[in-house]
Amino acid sequence: MIIRQLFASLMAILLSCTHTRAGIIRIEITITQSPAFGGKIFGITGAYEKLAGKAYGEVDPSLPQNRGIADLQLAPRNSRGMVEYAMDFYILKPVDPNRGNHKLFAEIPNRGGKLFGGFNNSTGGNDPAAAEQAQEGFLMKEGYTIIWCGWDISAAAGNGNLTISVPVAHNPDGSSITGPSYEYISFDNEKTTSYTLAYPAASLNKDQAVLRMRALLNDLPQTIASKDWEYTDEHTIRLLPAGTPFRQSAIYEFVYTAKDPLVAGLGLAATRDFVSFLRYAATNAGSLVNPLAGTVQYTYSFAISQPARYMNDFQALGFNQDEQGRRVFDGIENWMGGGSGVGINYRFAQPGRTERNRQNHLYPEGIFPFAYPVLTDHLSGKTGGRLAGYTSGKACPKVLEINSANEYWVKAASLLHTDPQGNDLPDPENVRFYLVSGMQHGSGGSAGVCQQLQNPTRPEPILRALFIALDEWVTKEVQPPASSVPRRGKGTAALAVAKAGALTGVVPAASLGWPGIPGVTYTGLVTVRHCFDYGPQFRKGILTQYPVSLTNVPAYTNFVSRVDQDGNEVAGIRLPPVAAPVATLTGWALRRTPFGKDDGGEAAGQCIPFTNTRAERLALGDPRLSLEERYGNHDGYVAAVTKAALRLEAQRLLLHEDVQKYIREAVESKVLVK
């Protein structure tokens, strides 16, 4: 009996050791800066330090948690049968961990970069530990440990970007895997004469590739004769004769046979394993040193745009559970992720792409499932949902999905909280949804390639307040503010109408409630999601064809928020610039000549100012009330901003310090100052 017990104990130890070889196996800290930020002290948290380096990991292809990674079974393995990867990391942590709040804030990098500066009330950049960048340091004052790690195969190396190295998949005999790949090419200049492909061409035979061009998005594409373009090598194409630039703002599409796909989906496992390691690994041994050992009680992710879509896939594909079934992130705050994925878990993946109404169409980004509940798609027949990625309810995080108006206009974000037919869904227990009314994708100023000034509204105040609410939801079970999005059931939704044979749809002006503003073109241009056919192996992450025609391609039902008499959105969270407006603020824009006139302005929105006086308004024929008619004088404007900001603070949608900033900016503004 004793021998059997000893044998069982020995086997358990061996199995445990074998299992722990997967995941993070080595940490190299190559940069240590203590203290960081020039020694700045952040309230009771004290000083911070910076650690940076490279983490090495490996994935066991036999584990159920990893089998969904596309082409993982075709990746090279080490002597232990594991598939290896390596990624950059960057950590900011309290020098004295006992003075921190024992909470980890993981910003998921955007194309390798750090974008948290505005949210953090600090300056940006990929090395935020410099003394001049600390400023207010919202997260540091709260005591968070902040981390970043690479995940994106398309992130460019250098300039402090965080990258990841993953292997190339090969056929079982070692030969190159080949298959169709696609490039959407457009330049808003007249100088670009060559284009670098994401993957090398399997052959330089031009008969195995097609280059098409169209001037506007919904034009019929025209094939460019093979005599008018060439490969300069397996990575590059150019127009002929040599030196011919790509036509300014025209849309080119190149379909070719590529080779040597990267196992891009390993990025999902890398994020899972690194965060899980920092959270749960309690011991240090040799080169496997956990710099946060024993200090992390709660974990949060924060993502802006592309990585927010990545976190959508991260959940749907089951990566918020580590290989031991433990929860990776307790809370997720996604900003501008919409209902899309990032197209990472496919052969010949290009996760750096993103589709908007004139950009990067046909990539496998807007793919069912879009929403959290498990639903059946009436178009594809598939069943799925982000919640399907969790085998245990204990692994489900609390999630705040926050989107700008631009995501509704150009990325069909309403599908995030509806079924595929556009019907409102109840909120899942662990998810809330918010529209930041009238915002573009980010913040802008000048018109750029668009017809109107871009939208300057900034999202950071609402993101900070909602992050505090997320933390209270996770740690104290305090419910966050109620979801605030357009709903068909409440009459605040304006439906998009798909245009037959077109990549875009239309929201009729009457349905939206759009006022006829002099000098402003309204076409109703909006993105719709199509159910494309990528071939019979698509469920395995293998695209065997790209759509060449939109004839008879069905579309899902999506919508945007209706607008008021000023053209400002009625649904969602109306920050002071919308609740006490000086302009019409939109999440959509149109391009100007010569940049594809009246095609969509991608991420841009519009800022269309009101007139100052009634006389000016009547002279222009503007239906929107003037500033004078709205507020009377400068004090009236300040009072309106104050009222709007205080209302949001009462709803836990603004922090007190941000309320005071809005009021101070209103006082210092030139609105109706004589």
Mean pLDDT, residues 599-623: 97
Mean pLDDT, residues 518-524: 97
Q: Is the previous residue joined to 426 through a cis bond, with omega within 30 degrees of 0?
A: no
Residue 391: which pLDDT band, with cuts at 50, 70 and 90? confident
Residue 16: which pLDDT band, with cuts at 50, 70 and 90? very low
Mean pLDDT, residues 326-334: 98
Mean pLDDT, residues 252-261: 97
pLDDT for the residue 674:
85
Q: How far apart are the first and last CA of the chain?
A: 95
Under a CB-based contact definition with an 8 Å cutoff, are residues 161 and 109 in contact? yes
Under a CB-based contact definition with an 8 Å cutoff, are residues 622 and 451 in contact? no
Least reliable range by pLDDT among 49-58, 225-234, 390-399, 431-440: 390-399
Under a CB-based contact definition with an 8 Å cutoff, are residues 109 and 150 in contact? yes
Least reliable range by pLDDT among 6-15, 16-25, 661-670: 6-15
Mean pLDDT, residues 281-298: 86
**Residue whose token pair is 């011919």:** 244
Average pLDDT of the chain to the nearest whole number: 94
Identify the burial level of 610 via C-beta atoms within 10 angstroms of its C-beta, where 0-12 means exposed, 13-18 middle and 19 or more buried.
Answer: buried
* CB environment 168-189: b (16+ within 10 A), e (fewer): bbbeeeeeebbbbbbbbbbbee
**Residue whose token pair is 């993953």:** 166
Query: Which segments of 317-441 does DSSP mark as H helices, in order?
Result: 405-410
**Residue whose token pair is 């949210």:** 119
User: What is the phi/psi pair of residue 300, to 5°?
Assistant: -135, 145
* pLDDT tens profile 98-116: 999 999 999 999 999 999 9
pLDDT greater than 90 at residue 21: no
Mean pLDDT, residues 390-398: 91
pLDDT for the residue 153:
98
Three-class DSSP category at 476:
helix
| Cα three-residue angle 326-327-332, rounded to 5 degrees | 170
**Residue whose token pair is 């404007």:** 637
User: Token pair for residue 6?
Assistant: 């000893």
pLDDT for the residue 1:
39
Q: Percent of the chain at pLDDT above 70?
A: 96
Under a CB-based contact definition with an 8 Å cutoff, are residues 151 and 158 in contact? no
pTM: 0.95
pLDDT greater than 90 at residue 644: yes
Mean pLDDT, residues 588-596: 97
Distance CA 297, CA 319 (A): 19
Mean pLDDT, residues 508-512: 97
Distance CA 471, CA 476 (A): 8
DSSP string, 228-256: GEEEEETTEEEETTTTBPPPTT-EEEEEE
Under a CB-based contact definition with an 8 Å cutoff, are residues 525 and 600 in contact? yes
pLDDT for the residue 501:
81
pLDDT for the residue 17:
39
Residue 18: which pLDDT band, with cuts at 50, 70 and 90? very low
Under a CB-based contact definition with an 8 Å cutoff, are residues 237 and 254 in contact? yes
The residue length of the chain stands at 674
Distance CA 55, CA 382 (A): 37
* pLDDT tens profile 164-222: 999 999 999 999 999 999 999 999 999 999 999 999 999 999 999 999 999 999 999 99
Three-class DSSP category at 196:
strand
Distance CA 47, CA 35 (A): 6
Under a CB-based contact definition with an 8 Å cutoff, are residues 185 and 254 in contact? yes
DSSP annotation of 297 reads S
Under a CB-based contact definition with an 8 Å cutoff, are residues 53 and 30 in contact? yes
Q: Taking the CB of residue 547, how many other CB atoms lie within 10 A of it?
A: 14
pLDDT for the residue 288:
84
User: What is the phi/psi pair of residue 502, to 5°?
Assistant: -120, 155
pLDDT for the residue 392:
83
pLDDT for the residue 10:
37
In the chain, the largest separation of any two C-alpha atoms, in whole Å, equals 99
pLDDT for the residue 286:
65
Distance CA 332, CA 659 (A): 25
pLDDT greater than 90 at residue 550: no
Residue 285: which pLDDT band, with cuts at 50, 70 and 90? low
Q: How many contiguous H segments (helices) and E segments (strands) does the chain have?
A: 12, 26
* CB environment 501-537: b (16+ within 10 A), e (fewer): ebbbbbbeeebbebbebeebebebbbbbbbbbebeee
| Cα three-residue angle 610-613-614, rounded to 5 degrees | 100
Residue 22: which pLDDT band, with cuts at 50, 70 and 90? confident
pLDDT greater than 90 at residue 11: no
Residue 3: which pLDDT band, with cuts at 50, 70 and 90? very low
pLDDT greater than 90 at residue 502: no
Q: Is the previous residue joined to 35 through a cis bond, with omega within 30 degrees of 0?
A: yes
Give the residue from 253, 248, 191 showing the smallest Cα distance to 222.
Answer: 253
The residues, any chain, with a CB within 8 Å of residue 179's CB and separated by 6 or more, are 257, 258, 261, 347, 348, 542, 543, 544
pLDDT greater than 70 at residue 6: no
DSSP string, 80-132: TSPEEEEEEEEEEEESSGGGS-SEEEEEPPBTTB---TTTTTS--SS-TTSGG
Alpha-carbon distance values, 522 to 120, 391, 515, 596 (Å):
36, 47, 9, 15
Give the residue from 535, 580, 541, 585 showing the smallest Cα distance to 563.
Answer: 585
Residue 14: which pLDDT band, with cuts at 50, 70 and 90? very low
Least reliable range by pLDDT among 144-153, 302-311, 350-359, 413-422: 350-359
Mean pLDDT, residues 52-58: 97
Helix (H) or strand (E) holding 168: none
User: Token pair for residue 400?
Assistant: 């705040």
Q: Is the previous residue joined to 369 through a cis bond, with omega within 30 degrees of 0?
A: yes
pLDDT for the residue 134:
87
Strand partners, 606: 586
The residues, any chain, with a CB within 8 Å of residue 365's CB and separated by 6 or more, are 309, 340, 341, 342, 343, 353, 354, 355
Distance CA 320, CA 397 (A): 8
